[in-house]
Amino acid sequence: MKPALNRIIVVMLILLCFPLLMGADFMYWRDNFSPITLQNIGSRGQVCEGSSQVTLFTNGDAEISADNSTAAQLSFAGDTLVTEYKLTFDGNGSDATGGTGTNYETYDRFLLTTPAHVTHRPGDDEVEVILHVKASNYANGLANAGTYKAKQTMSVHWVGH
Residue 47 has pLDDT above 90, yes or no: yes
Compute the average pLDDT of residues 30-43.
Answer: 94
| From 7-11, 69-73, 113-117, 127-131, the region with the lowest mean pLDDT | 7-11
**Residues above pLDDT 90, as percent of the chain:** 80
Contact assessment for residue 71 and residue 151, using Cβ atoms and an 8 Å cutoff: yes
DSSP calls for 61-73 = -EEEEE--SGGGS
Q: Give all domains of the chain, ordered by start, each with its CATH number.
A: 25-158 (2.60.40)
Predicted TM-score (pTM) above 0.75:
yes
Query: What pLDDT shows up at residue 51?
Result: 98
| pLDDT, tens only, 115-142 | 999 999 999 999 999 999 999 999 988 8
Residue 8 has pLDDT above 90, yes or no: no
Rounded-to-integer distance, Cα 84 and Cα 108, Å: 9
* 62-99 per-residue burial string, b: 16 or more CB within 10 A, e: under 16: bbbbbbbeeebbbbeeeebbbbbbbbbbebebeebbbb
